[in-house]
Structure 1
Amino acid sequence: MSREELSNKDLSLELEQIIFIGRTYEEYMLMFGLTPEDLRGRSILDCPGGACSFSSRSRRQGADSMASDIAYQFAINNLEYKGQQDIEHTIKQLEQVRERYRWDYFGSIDGLKQARTRALQDSTADMREFPDRYVYSELPVLPFADERFDLTLSAHFLFTYADRLDFNFHAQTILELLRVTRYELRIFPTVELSGIRYEKMDELKTLIEKQGCTVSEVKTGYEFQQGADTMLHIVKTSF
């Protein structure tokens, strides 16, 4: 096997370990308590952006938006296929535990599948048209200048995987997100996959406040996973 074949095989194995799934623009607006007026004229980072359609749609609202994710090292066709597989897998899993979720927003399993598919289609179409807006990164390191973005959004990564990501990773990642952010960082949700508030949240908030930021836990208008209806809102007081 040639070196190129080995490299392609390694990338395929790495891609299998990544979940490429995303939320719609409408979900983001609810999750982060945003209005169209909050977007216009602002530079915004979605990290990790995954297969979310926020970056694409917010640009149409006048935002200078960009997404960053470890998945963006892979070819778009491969990501699109992986995303379709991940949607099917997720739907099958949710059918077994649907009582842990609220269905008033999506209406049904089929409504959820349609939303996830729409986000995947919107994001991959935008990647093809604006590839420079989708930047590969591997947290807790980002390839952006200090205070590059007015607003940074981070959904369903930190806290969600607290069973796999330790406190140091959470702290380093948030400090890095703040480094590239000029004004505010919003993280959703504040609970682990179990639906329980992140157990080291108070310790983390103290650390962030020592960096000269104000930190608050804010209820939002979005709740799919039961108990996951709060975002962490961090504002740089030096702004």
Structure 2
Amino acid sequence: MSQVEKSTGLDLSRIVFIGRTWEEYLLMFNLTKEELVGHEVLDCPSGACSFTANANQYNISTTATDIAYYHQVDDLEQKGFQDIEHTMQSMEHVVNNYNWDFFQSIDGLKRVRTRALTECVSDMKKFGASRYVPTTLPQLPFKDKQFDVTLSAHFLFTYADRLDYDFHIQTLKELFRVTREEIRIFPTVDMECKRYEYMDALIEWIDSQGWTGEEIQVPYEFQKNANTMLKLTIK
């Protein structure tokens, strides 16, 4: 066990280190590169996604944050390849639960997931904690209004069976604190493709916090029916 694991109590085996590509992010969040250039962006949580690596190449100042970053990058790289192999094996049994227009096949999915991992890990090795900041939600180690835009993929509503309503509230409060203009969360459904149970109440609460929340369909759907995001804009 590494010194980091001793101090944080994190078990690497319980962290799934798998990610999406830059191209997937633009589709998931219904964004273009031009909309983001010149902005400060937070990817939270970011896992093994390659968005940060690519965005910074396009003059989009982007910071990634995730609980996984408490671990050594070499350990995460090894874990990431193991997770991809395990995921691909699992996919064979649930292939009909997914829309394959984007990836075409399980082999296609594996290639894309592997590219995301390798691009992410390569960037982590170059830039370390200056871009890849360890954190444990619902707290974030950033200044008030540090980012123009925050993107959050496959976390809050995806794991609604494990993250209760209070956790959602506390996390959103923290995202509000560090974000100046806009927050986008994808998808708005859980693992079973069901819309988040408390979405209407949550949007009402968001409105009371000086933000506007709306569900928007996006041009990306891998998990069937997971094709909407929650867009939050400060009033």
Instruction: Give the TM-score taking structure 2 as reference length.
Output: 0.96
Question: Equivalences for 1:197-236 in 2 at 5 Å?
Answer: 197-236=195-234
Mapped contact 2:5–2:71 kept (Cα < 8 A): no
**Matching of residue 105 in structure 1 with residue 102 in structure 2:** yes
- What letter is aligned with 1:85? Q
Question: Equivalences for 1:125-204 in 2 at 5 Å?
Answer: 125-131=122-128, 132-204=130-202
Q: CA deviation at 1:181?
A: 0.3
Question: 2:53 maps to which residue?
Answer: 56
Secondary structure, aligned partner of 2:117: helix
Mapped contact 2:28–2:220 kept (Cα < 8 A): yes
- What letter is aligned with 2:96? E
Choose which of 74, 78, 102 in structure 1 pairs with 2:71.
74
Q: Percent identity?
A: 54
Deviations 1:187-213 (A, max 9, x none): 000001000100000111111110011
Q: CA deviation at 1:140?
A: 0.1
- What letter is aligned with 1:225? Q
Whole-angstrom distance in 1 between the partners of 2:56 and 2:10: 33
Structure 1 runs (4+) deviating above 3 angstroms are 5-13
Unaligned runs of 5+ in 2: none
Whole-angstrom distance in 1 between the partners of 2:91 and 2:174: 33
Instruction: Give the TM-score taking structure 1 as reference length.
Output: 0.95
Alpha-carbon RMSD across the aligned residues, in angstroms, is 1.4
Deviations 1:60-103 (A, max 9, x none): 11101010000001110000000001111111111100100000
Deviations 1:17-64 (A, max 9, x none): 111100000000000011011111000000001000000101111101
Whole-angstrom distance in 2 between the partners of 1:154 and 1:66: 12
Question: 2:12 maps to which residue?
Answer: 15
Q: CA deviation at 1:6?
A: 8.1
- What letter is aligned with 1:60? Q
Whole-angstrom distance in 2 between the partners of 1:167 and 1:6: 33
Distance 1:9 1:72, change over 3 A: closer
Whole-angstrom distance in 2 between the partners of 1:226 and 1:128: 35
Deviations 1:147-176 (A, max 9, x none): 000000000001000111101001111111
Whole-angstrom distance in 2 between the partners of 1:153 and 1:226: 21
Unaligned runs of 5+ in 1: none
